[in-house]
Structure 1
Amino acid sequence: MNQIIFCDFDGTITETDNIISLMKQFAPPEWNSMKDQILSQEISIQEGVGKMFSLLPSSIKDDIIHYLKETAIIREGFSDFVQFTKEEEIELFIVSGGIDFFVYPLLEGLISKEFIFCNASDFSNEKIQVLWPNSCDESCDNGCGCCKPSLIKKLAQKEDHVIVIGDSITDLQAAKQADTVFARDFLKEKLTELNIPFQPFETFYDVIHYLKEQKVINV
């Protein structure tokens, strides 16, 4: 049986959610109500994220990228985790509700672009527009934006052992499909509420340790 890992980016690989971070820094106050509507599932992730970015002028693109490069912190152990997956020949895909213009630069040198699935961006108009190259397929109507369940179906075989690593509402539907889930923060709360089993983690060394101890690898 092959193992295949689908790992979130914002708040998982990075210590904080980069979208929230840049909204706090650059967006007008109304972004807060949109965030709350997403978390309460009143509106879809795709609708909410699109609305939040439409609050930002395209002219500040360079300022946003510079800000995130200066403030985003990669979670402890991620580089060793990437190396571990290579040594164990475990496929690792980054599936992110983040946007290409900051996900790619922050993962440069760690993960090749062909293994990264995220949302795209258009700066040609006055306000930033988010594009959705990985939106929901016909089997998902959650308005995910970057639809992790659809990507799992596309990239994993039925017999694969699917491992999902995440932290937020954007990872919930993927976690429901996984054989093993590593969760922290809001995702941990939701999975507890829904009685879905998971392994808590704070660093990627926790993930490596569990995979080794439970012999998930090389099953």
Structure 2
Amino acid sequence: MQKIAIVTDFDGTLMEQDVGNILMSELGVDAEPEVVEVSGLYREKKIGSLAWIETAYPMLAYKKREVDEILARVQLRDGARDFIAFCKEQSVPVTILSDGMLYYIQQILTQQHIEVERIIGNPITYLEDGQFQFGVQNENTACKWCGCCKASVVKQLKEEGWKIIYIGDGSSDYYGSGFADWVFARSSLARYLSEEGTAFYPFQTFRDVMDVLVANWNEFVNGSASRRLTGRVPAACKFPV
């Protein structure tokens, strides 16, 4: 029986744009002094995304209308819809794993008529009465670096016996991809992996991903596809003992 699953990032991966960054920029959040300060610390790797999220995202409170107007303009990455359809045809579950805001992920997927098996992100949303609800996904008591602990999610899937194809583009994906079997990477994730000599499949669109998967699907299913990773665990990731 096939036991293979897809885990894909959302911002800058499944989406053409980094939706969270667009919201912060267009609504002026990234210009607020507190956010400017934590953004600098984040770029210098002195803090993780958790501290940045706790500072920036509460500033979206009471801005649902403005947020929704921006969400109506963003786009899926080229080939993403066909990729999701391919996964459904192959009965391969897809998990969207994001360090972003659950509200905009669900809104966009609904607008685009995209359905996946699971969506995991930071539980930041607007309630039915318009009130703002803030939270983070990270329940990893041993590490509070990321808002969403992608490493914990992928690690759990591996422990359940899944072979994981991970698709991502950013720094949080570096941690999540550490527990995957194969990685498709672009942007800063590709740069990180190249610098450490880790094998991956580069991509710019999901048509690139499809080209590799369709041509080698049997090998991915049986585990023999090239560039498979073994034992790569990011040193920064820690878990309860």
TM range (shorter): 0.7 to 0.9
User: Any conservation in 1 of the 2:170–2:189 contact (CA below 8 Å)?
Assistant: yes
* Cα deviation 1:99-121 (Å, max 9, x = unaligned): 12211010112024x51111112
Equivalence for 2:85: 83
Could you tell me which amino acid in structure 2 is paired with residue 40 of structure 1? E
- What is the distance in 2 between the residues matched to 1:32 and 1:189? 25
Structural mapping, 1:27-176, within 5 Å: 27-29=29-31, 30=33, 31-54=35-58, 56-70=59-73, 72-108=74-110, 109-112=113-116, 115-121=118-124, 130-132=134-136, 134-138=137-141, 141-157=143-159, 159-176=161-178
Could you tell me which amino acid in structure 2 is paired with residue 120 of structure 1? P
| Structure 2, unpaired ranges of 5+ | 223-241
| Structure 1, unpaired ranges of 5+ | none
Equivalence for 1:200: 202
Equivalence for 2:13: 12
User: Any conservation in 2 of the 1:4–1:91 contact (CA below 8 Å)?
Assistant: yes
SS at match of 1:162: strand
Seq. identity, %: 27
- With normalisation by structure 2, the TM-score equals 0.79
- What is the distance in 2 between the residues matched to 1:119 and 1:32? 21
User: Any conservation in 2 of the 1:5–1:90 contact (CA below 8 Å)?
Assistant: yes
1:120–1:159 distance in 2 versus 1, CA, 3 Å: closer
Relative contact order higher in (CA < 8 Å, ≥ 6 apart)? 1
Shift of 1:74: 0.5
- With normalisation by structure 1, the TM-score equals 0.87
**More deviation in 19-28 or 179-188?**
19-28
Larger radius of gyration: 2
1:4–1:157 distance in 2 versus 1, CA, 3 Å: farther
User: Any conservation in 1 of the 2:8–2:96 contact (CA below 8 Å)?
Assistant: yes
